[in-house]
Every structure is written in structure tokens, then in C-alpha cells.
Amino acid sequence: MRALFELLREHLVSLNASPERSLALTLYRFVHGDLAGLFDGDDEPMAFNGQLVVLDLSAQWSSNSFPVAALSAIAAAQQVVSVEDELGYLVLDEAWSVLADPHALRWLQGSWKLARAKGVSHVLVLHRWSDVAAVGDAGSAHRERAQGLLRECETAWLFRQPPDEAREMAVALGLHRREERYLSALPKGAALVRYGAHRSIVRVQPDQRDCAFIDTDRAMRVSSADE
């Protein structure tokens, strides 16, 4: 990327609009501007040939570069999970941040349609249903597309929600009133699982190895011990 920018640098001084100047200005953002360091740097190049590939975009959430980073990560994920004759999983944690980008949302809609053909299971992780409200104004086409994508999920693990969140989830997913009441009363570690036309209450019991990955309160306990 840097080498290509050096080849096109001379077009920056031109005031005439041209494809070369447009490309040079774009590359400048990635090499010296607000997107510098997103794709190039001194570290080892990213490898996509492993059985598990993790892309951490948390550093981009509060920056203007997040849409570019999100789309690039999704494009990379598409290459990873599109290997022929192999089943794969595309897991999107904090999915609200990706759903908020209209281009990423449109890509996900297309990927959803091709999931069976490609043998790819998509997993979206949302901590609160109200996170979906952050993707667009009420009644907007963007929010409707995001909620429509969630309604198309064939399997849903729904953990305990406060009453107001449960009401919104019930409306969006077409839950029965009894299911809505369950959502507000589920104990910690239990989930209402919807798979096709079936429903089950499932208790998740992580073992010690699982807890090493899912324990998000560790820092809080350390802080309390120090006090």
C-alpha cells in the first residue's frame, strides 16, 4: 500500500480531478492520514489459514475508521469461511457495531441467503436487544433490515432480559406472551432456545475451562480485593 502511494504521490499536487488523484488521496488516508496503521505496519502479516481466525476491532469502535475496518474484517472473514467442502462459522461478537454500518448489513443479508449453499453458520452476539436501536432511527429502513436479519436466524438463544427489553424483543421476534414472561424470569445461566417451531428452556453449565474464557468480572474482583 505504501509503495503504491509513493508511485501516485505526484498526483496529489494536481488540482484536476482524475482517477489517479482520487486513488492517491485515498491511499494517503491509509498511509499518513486518519486510517494510518489500519492495514500496514511493522508487525507480521495477518494469516488467514488457521482453523480459528480472530479479528479484534475494539480499538476502532470510537473512531471514524470503524466502518472501513468492519467492512474489511467482514471481507476477510468471507475469504476464510468460503473454503469449498468445509463447514465454517462466522461469529460476530458485539454485532450491533457491524449492524450499524449499512454496507456491512447489506453484505450480511447476502451472506445469510448463501449460508446453506456455502456451509457457513452465522453467529451474532448481542448483549441487549436495545443495542439494535442504535443502528438507526425507529421506522427507518436501516433498522428494519437489521431486525429482519435477526428474525431470519433459525436458532436463537435468548437469555434473561429486563421487562422493557423483553417487550421489545417479543415484538420484534414475534414471541408468545408466555415466552416474554420467561425472558424476564430466567435465572442466570438459563436461556429460552428457539429452533424452528420448537422451544426449550436450557441451562448452560460451563466447566472450569469454559470459565477461563467467559469470565468478564475478573478485573472487578481484583479491584475489590485491592480495596
- For the domain that residue 194 is a member of, what is the CATH number? 3.40.50.300
Place of cell 481466525: 53
State mean pLDDT over 177-186: 91
Please give the Cα distance from 132 to 171 (Å, whole number).
13
State mean pLDDT over 102-106: 83
Whole-prediction pTM = 0.74
Residue 174, pLDDT above cutoff 60: yes
Q: How confident is the model at residue 84 (pLDDT cuts 50, 70, 90)?
A: low
Q: Dihedrals φ, ψ of 64, to 5°? A: -70, -10
The DSSP 8-state label assigned to residue 65 in this structure reads: T
Look up residue 33 and give its three cell numbers: 492520514
Same domain, yes or no: 39 and 112: no
Q: pLDDT: is 62 or 85 the higher one? A: 62
Same domain, yes or no: 202 and 177: yes
Residue 201, pLDDT above cutoff 70: yes
Instruction: Give 166-170 contacts, CB < 8 A, sequence gap 24+.
Output: 168/129, 168/130, 168/133, 169/129
Same domain, yes or no: 79 and 18: no
Neighbours of 135 (CB within 10 A): 21
> What is the average pLDDT score of the chain?
82
Bridge partner list, 199 = 194
Place of cell 420448537: 198
Write out the residue range of the structural domain in which residue 176 sits.
Answer: 49-226
Same domain, yes or no: 78 and 188: yes
Least confident segment among 57-66, 125-134, 142-151, 170-179? 57-66
The whole-number pLDDT of residue 39 equals 75
Q: pLDDT: is 125 or 131 the higher one? A: 125
Same domain, yes or no: 211 and 101: yes
Same domain, yes or no: 115 and 191: yes
Same domain, yes or no: 89 and 135: yes
| Residues composing the chain | 227
Same domain, yes or no: 114 and 177: yes
Residue 67, pLDDT above cutoff 60: yes
State mean pLDDT over 116-132: 83
| Helical ranges in 82-121 per DSSP H | 96-99, 102-113, 115-118
Same domain, yes or no: 55 and 15: no
Least confident segment among 27-36, 82-91, 203-212? 82-91
The helix (H) or strand (E) run that includes residue 7 is: helix 2-8
Same domain, yes or no: 10 and 118: no
Q: How many separate domains does the chain show?
A: 2
The helix (H) or strand (E) run that includes residue 196 is: none
Count of alpha carbons within 13 angstroms of residue 80, beta-carbon side:
21
Same domain, yes or no: 167 and 113: yes
Same domain, yes or no: 39 and 54: no
State mean pLDDT over 36-48: 74
Q: How confident is the model at residue 186 (pLDDT cuts 50, 70, 90)?
A: very high
The whole-number pLDDT of residue 185 equals 93
* Cα angle 165, 123, 101; round to 5: 70
